[in-house]
Amino acid sequence: MKREKSKGLHKRALTTLISAVFIASVAGCAAPSFSPTVVDSEWNTNYKDALSPHTQLALGVMKKIKKNEDAIGDKLALSRKWSNLARDIDSKASDATLNKSRRDIEALLGQKLVDEIKGEAYSRGDLMGFMMSSGMSIPPGGPSAMNPDLVAAEKVVAMLKGDDKSAAPAFTYKPVLPGEALSPVENLTLGTALLLERDRQSFDMSQVFRLALYFRPLRRLYDPNPNINKQLSTDKMDVETVYMDRIWRVLKPEQVAAIRAMDLTRTDMNEYLTGHVKLFKVDEKRNPKFALIEYTVNDFHEQIAPPNTIPPEEKGEFFIASSLKKLSGKDPDDGRKLFEGVCAACHGVDGQGRFPPISMKSYLSLHSDHEHYEIVRFGPPQKPGSPIVMPTFDDKLSSDQIWAVVQYLRTFEKDNKIRRGETEARAAGVNFYDTNDVYQLWGKKDGDKYFLDIQSDIAYRIMGHIPGSNHIRPAEFDQKIDSIPRDKEIIVIDMFGSQGLMPAKTLADSGYKVSYMASGMMDWHITRNYPVSYD
């Protein structure tokens, strides 16, 4: 881990962290104590950690409002009805009374929206994740000091009234000195980074992969590079809320308790930033929030990536023309010249050569400039026997020259070039779907669609896959092609929206009706926040 230990760093935080983990292990992992679930035959409560129907409904509506304030109509009438329900909860009214108050709310919301929320089957982990991603902290008495059903009801009333700050008075920021308070995203990021540093063994590998993925859109949101579009897609999405919620949900209950117990301040954040090994062109003083997230992603990525164990001398010579070596890297056009003269030999002038397709927006949105800089400088993580060995350029190009190449890569993100293999696939009869088109088809659950995922094993498990999709490993595609049904429309899905073009063309040439999800699982999962499975 790229971290320089500071003297006595966070002794207080570590002590409270250990205490919190111990308390959590004794007290049910610090999860809230829920009252007996209210029974209603119209709602599913027969699953682990199920919420009461009225709390499932409240959480569903809050998530809708967070994503799009206009998704819920007649907020004033709803707030009045929900205030009545909150009073019923607070007075410990009977199940029959609670159900009646909730059904009054359902009538205002409409059956379509209610059915949609029912289908989510929210759990107490979902509720805790939403509360924490909304900037709430656990009260002094711990989770047992609160009534989650009442908190959810009061919170949704406040959101409906447009007075979110008054919601859930039991959950308030602990008083700190002026200027010392961290924002919710800073608190979550720093706490997760410190927990990884202190207790690496508490994280399983699937957590490490997902956390490394989910911090990346947050990093992009605060990236100072003016050429980066902070909004990942055209969808109306609160990026910070969506990905903080995901991160809280990935963390185990005892890890959540440990982070909350740290009581982190601006001083703690500054100590972490100054104690971390510096990353090229990451200015922690001018952009501290971006630096914090960049360092955290870097720390998690180091847990994933195998070391580059191929010595530079074993990668062969790489000729660079003297005219290119003379470029300073500071002229606006130097990046293009260096890329076309050095990198295009493998990656192609259009960036769509060898895997990964570095000109794909789905790929570029996942990586920061610093990560590209490190890859150009030292090569990607590789071991002897790797099918593609990328040379290192640390001894061939200056830092300014490498940085110029990195900045040129960002120009690909603005282009809408036809990807390599797309023309051939279209000529073979492959239909192309936008990610939202596939989402709508998937939601209909029609039996005439066959979702074929051809990601690698690790991408299928860690990036996730569309629930109900069928997985064939790329290496086994030719052998298993006959197992794919011919009486259905085959929708081919890959990771970035490029590797599946050849298999899609092969299927079309073989007489299948084939469509292709053009932007891959990166767009489905990371950009659009659509449902995924990890089985």
Q: What are 533's strand-pairing partners?
A: 465
pLDDT tens digits along 486-532: 999 999 999 877 788 889 999 999 999 999 998 888 888 877 878 88
Compute CA distances 365 → 24, 368, 459, 509, whole Å: 37, 8, 17, 33
Per-residue pLDDT of the chain (535 residues; tens, 9 = 90+): 555 544 333 333 333 333 333 233 323 333 334 444 555 667 877 777 788 888 889 888 888 888 777 788 878 788 888 888 888 787 777 788 888 888 888 888 888 888 898 888 888 777 877 776 665 555 444 444 567 788 888 888 888 877 554 333 333 334 445 567 888 899 999 999 999 989 988 998 878 888 988 898 888 888 888 777 655 554 555 778 888 888 988 899 899 889 988 889 999 999 999 888 888 778 888 899 999 999 998 888 777 665 555 555 655 566 777 888 888 888 889 988 888 888 877 777 776 665 556 666 656 766 778 778 878 877 766 555 555 567 778 778 898 998 898 888 888 776 556 566 788 889 999 999 999 999 999 988 888 999 999 988 777 877 788 999 999 988 889 899 999 999 999 999 998 777 888 899 999 999 999 999 988 888 888 778 788 887 6
Compute CA distances 368 → 211, 408, 410, 511, 525, whole Å: 16, 13, 10, 41, 18
Sheet bearing 449-453, strands edge to edge = 431-433, 513-517, 489-493, 449-453, 470-471
Angstrom distance (rounded) from CA 501 to CA 517: 10
The pLDDT of residue 73 is 81
The fourth-level CATH superfamily of domain 422-527 is Rhodanese-like domain (3.40.250.10)
**Domain over 312-414 is classified CATH 2.60.40.790:** no
pLDDT tens digits along 198-254: 998 899 887 888 898 889 888 888 888 877 765 555 455 577 888 888 898 889 989
Residue 243 CA, chain-centre distance (Å), reads 5
Q: Where are the domains of the chain?
A: 11-21+177-304, 53-166, 312-414, 422-527
Q: List CB contacts of 407: < 8 A, sequence separation 6 or more.
A: 227, 335, 369
Residue 372 CA, chain-centre distance (Å), reads 19
φ/ψ of 141, rounded to 5, equals -75, 0
The pLDDT of residue 18 is 30
Q: Which two tokens stand for residue 461?
A: 């498990």
Closest among 435, 469, 463, 434 to 449, alpha carbons compared: 469
Angstrom distance (rounded) from CA 411 to CA 417: 12
The pLDDT of residue 296 is 92
Q: Is 247 strand, coil or helix?
A: helix
Angstrom distance (rounded) from CA 481 to CA 223: 43
Amino acid at 286: R
Angstrom distance (rounded) from CA 294 to CA 279: 9
Torsion of CA 201, 206, 209, 212, to 10 degrees: -60
